[in-house]
Structure 1
Amino acid sequence: MTADTLLERITDYANRPDPYPLYEELREAGPVVRQADGSHLIGTYHHIVALLHDPRISADPRNRPAFSSAAEGAQLPFLRLDDPEHQRLRTLAMRPFGPPHSPGRIDAMRGQIADTTKELLEALRGRKQVDIVDDFAYPLPVTVICRLLGVPREDEPRFRQWTDVIVASADVRPEEDTTERDRAGQQARAEMGRYLVHLAEQRRGRPDDDILSALINEPDPALRLTLEELAETAVLLLIAGHETTVNLIANGVLTLLRRPDQLDRLRREPDLLPSAVEELLRYEPPVHMRERIPLADVDVAGTTLPAGSSVVLALASGNRDPKRFHEPDRFDPARVDNQHLGFGSGIHLCFGAPLARIEAQTALGALIPHLGTATLVQDPPPYRQNAMLRGPRHLEIQQPG
């Protein structure tokens, strides 16, 4: 096979359990590898970081000539916008979420996260077989983000359906007509946005201690989101607030069960847990790829990325780049100098990272004492269809006896 089919092979579901040999092939063929569909694939750490910090590289899909007409005129989440509009909306969204305006909100969630983790584990007590995804890794971050935003937990089945469609519409797929997928995603996003705005409107003038209340009751008109902006921001926070954390926790459990020596080490050295989570973000990241669009012709190592073309940054490949990380294919929970790309880089660095870290550390810290005798029912497990947000769809483990 030739290098111009790498993106097609990476996104092929058959390679979901282990795309890392393909990332190695990408780095050896790179740093820039043109694909058969005209896109460019980049998998080397330093080039990825440089492009994520380059103002000539856009996150806005409307800068791509082939942008789907299904999404024309739609309000985009700030994740898909460029500065200065990105910075404006991101700043307004962060005011009730974290520092400097709400410095204690996330840290104050530690007790609730620990309590939810304990409740979930109690519900699993005595069971011989457990699905780590459905029984633990999914309900934990969903419960947390619902409390944080002010979304009724009982509405989870409703917004899970919307979330699945929206996430599928954001996946990276080569040589595919995305018109129908984009239309479905936009419809789901609009329905979910209306649902969240309705919840926020119920708190107008009657605020509670949640983010929707803070956003709808912002007293300064200059700092107030429009209803359209509120809808997109709330959708982004709800989805991003749980989807990637599910993968982080599930990938973490899978990695540790495959490496009983490291599992035992973390059981003996619990102080290593924060650095172990950072290593998981490098070694098995929840987000594998991001698409960008050059606003002008950009030269990378002698190859021109044409303006308006699709550039796919393989973050997970950068995390395994031997030119940046010593023995990158080895999971080392005590690794130092670990500036991974698990939360991206540049202006779009994930601002929910502190919450995800707390959730992952709490979840894995609580699970590790119970995993010593656990075995995987299926390895590799079934994976989610999505190639960009890669993680097990189910992760069944069993205890002896």
Structure 2
Amino acid sequence: MTQISTWQQILDYSHRADPYPLYAELRKTPVVRLDDGSYVVSTYREIVALLHDPRLSSDMRNVPELAADALAQEAEEGTPAPPPSFIQTDPPEHDRLRRLLTRNFGPPHRPDRIDSMLPHLFEIVTNEIDGFAGKDRSGPARVDIVDDFAYPFPVTVICHLLGVPRDDEPRFQAMSDAVVQAADPTIGGIAERQRRRAKAIADLGRYFARLLEARHGQRGDDLLSGLLGGDGDEAPMSPEEILSNAALLLVAGHETTVNLITNGMLTLLRHPEVFDRLRRGDEPGLAARVVEELLRYEPPVQFLANSRNTLDDIEVGGTTIPKGSPVTLVLAAGSRDPGFVPDPDRFDPDREHSEHLGFGGGIHYCFGAPLARPETQIALTELAHRLKNPRLVADPPPYRASPGLRGPRHLLVEIDGVEPAIHDHAPYPPAQTPP
């Protein structure tokens, strides 16, 4: 079996439920060249080195053929392509955009933004689980953890944070799906995927433009209003930059968290001893440790497909990646690298060290991590506290098509009922992260 065929198997849907044995095979050769001239990196130390190497660019405009294709697309459509979001840029452009976003999202300028949202997060989760109670009128109830819980929760949160009407969800979800599909490496070549992504982001940008126009200049306390205000020492984002980055945050702010919560519930039901510990609620910090281990063991983002390119020849793991090469970093394989993590295929929230690549690393470390952590901690804790005797209907469940953004499409669970909520407000301290 060649390493290239191993990668092709990873992309094949038949292995979506358990790609980890194939990741183990892939790691035998840390850096692999594919037929299209791109490279795949799968071991922990090599991925970390590249995430911190300034010679690895996130700006695909540095790849000549992709830049030429983007110009051709602009000429064909007669409109300029949307500017790249901050995760698709390099310093200093990246640093400026990220600072402006952070100013309206978290510390040091908004240190209470996330913590002040905790009661609201708890309220949303409580209401969603309360809704399960109406399903058990004639014996065991059946709920879909994805459609009934893990999807509506982060969507409601990100809409609140951005100032997007929750009722618009059917409108923006189709556009969000298009962004996710554009990153699927099983569909088309790199240039085609870049085209589809640019179109999907532009469609979302137009949605935000209409939304802002309908406000008639009225602003609130949401992140989008903060970007429009442009306070601070730096010049504000251009209108086009605001639309591109708002589109990114809308997609990333719920798609990955849906998978993290669903992967988490699936993993806990497969490990009932951990589920019972979480249900008892007598171990402070357990929820935080569970989420960190989930980010290592079953991360929502499995790999960053051709999202980087080399600005110079880079030697990694004994292989030289030539200048101008697209690079895929297989984060999920790196987080289960036995050369870095002891007994990596065991789910163990009591690990002494919880390092992982679940949120990436380097300057592009996940912007939404401070929100995703408490969202998932609250969601899994309340599911454990309140669901009576939950059990899986099917294992493995059906998975989403994407191999990179991996999670169940449905997670059917039977329950014997719902316990009443034992809190009338969020009992959670400020967003927890293990030391």
Report TM bin, short chain: over 0.9
- Give the match for residue 318 of structure 2: 302
Q: Amino acid of the residue matched to residue 360 of structure 2?
A: G
Are 2:25 and 1:9 aligned? no
Q: 1:305 to 1:129 in 2, by over 3 A?
A: same
| More deviation, 143-152/335-344 | 335-344
Q: Structure 2: how far apart are the matches of 1:5 and 1:217? A: 51
Partner residue, 2:433: none
SS at match of 1:242: helix
State the partner residue of 2:75: none
Q: Match of 2:291? A: 277
Which of 268, 272, 294 lines up with 1:260 in the alignment? 272
Give TM-score scaled by structure 2 length. Answer: 0.87
More deviation in 100-109 or 371-380?
371-380
Shift of 1:3: 1.1
Of 145, 160, 168, 1:132 maps to 145
User: 1:247 is aligned with what amino acid?
Assistant: N
CA 1:150–1:70 in 2, change beyond 3 Å: closer, same or farther? farther
| Structure 2 residue matching 1:67: 3-state secondary structure | helix
Q: Which residue in the other structure is 1:59 paired with?
A: 58
Shift of 1:267: 2.1
Secondary structure of 2:219 counterpart = coil
Q: Is residue 198 from structure 1 mapped to residue 210 from structure 2 by the alignment?
A: yes
The 8 Å contact of residues 388 and 415 in structure 2, kept in 1 or not, is answered as no
Query: How far did residue 105 of structure 1 move?
Result: 0.7
Answer yes or no: is the 8 Å Cα contact 1:251–1:392 preserved in 2.
Answer: yes
1:21-170 matches, within 5 Å, as: 21-28=21-28, 30-67=29-66, 71-72=70-71, 74=81, 75-127=83-135, 128-170=141-183
Q: Which of 366, 369, 372 is the aligned partner of 1:353?
A: 369
SS in 1 for 2:40: strand
Q: Indicate the residue corresponding to 1:238 in structure 2.
A: 250
What letter is aligned with 1:343? F
Question: Is contact 2:278–2:385 with CA below 8 Å preserved after alignment?
Answer: no
Contact 2:66 2:191 in 1 (8 A): no
Q: Decide whether the 8 Å contact of 1:205 with 1:217 is kept in 2.
A: no
**Contact 1:57 / 1:294 at 8 angstroms: preserved in 2?**
yes
| d(CA) in 1 for partners of 2:365, 2:129 | 32
- 1:205 CA drift (Å): 4.6
Structure 1 residue identity aligned to 2:20? Y
2:261 matched residue in structure 1: 249
Matches within 5 A, 1:361-380: 361-371=377-387, 373-380=389-396
Give the residue type in structure 2 aligned to 1:385: A
- Deviation for aligned residue 1:173: 3.6
Q: How far apart are residue 266 of structure 1 and its match?
A: 2.1
DSSP-derived class of the 1:123 partner = helix
Cα distance change, pair 362–347 in 1 and its aligned pair in 2 (3 A): same
Contact 1:56 1:296 in 2 (8 A): yes
State whether structure 2 residue 185 is matched by structure 1 residue 172: yes
Residue 209 of structure 1: how far off its partner (Å): 1.3
Q: Which amino acid aligns with 1:172?
A: P
Map of 1:211 onto structure 2 = 223
Residue aligned with 2:98, SS: helix
Root-mean-square deviation (Å) = 1.9
Unaligned runs of 5+ in 1: none
Determine which of 337, 347, 351 is the counterpart of 1:321: 337
Contact 2:297 2:345 in 1 (8 A): yes
Greater shift in the superposed pair: 278-287 or 54-63: 54-63
Distance 1:178 1:336 in 2: 40
**Aligned pair 1:382/2:398, yes or no?**
yes
Distance in 2, Cα, partners of 1:300 & 1:180: 28
Task: Name the SS for the 1:121 alignment partner.
Answer: helix
What's the offset of the Cα at 1:203?
A: 4.6
Q: Structure 2 unaligned runs (5+)?
A: 72-79, 136-140, 418-435
The one-letter code sitting in structure 1 at the alignment partner of 2:361 is S
| Alpha-carbon displacement from aligned partner over 1:48-76 (angstroms, at most 9, x marks no partner) | 00000000001112222442756446311
Alpha-carbon displacement from aligned partner over 1:206-233 (angstroms, at most 9, x marks no partner):
3211111111122468431111100011
Q: For 2:66, what is the secondary structure of its paired residue?
A: coil
Aligned equivalents of 2:103 and 2:352: distance in 1? 32
Amino acid at match of 1:120: E
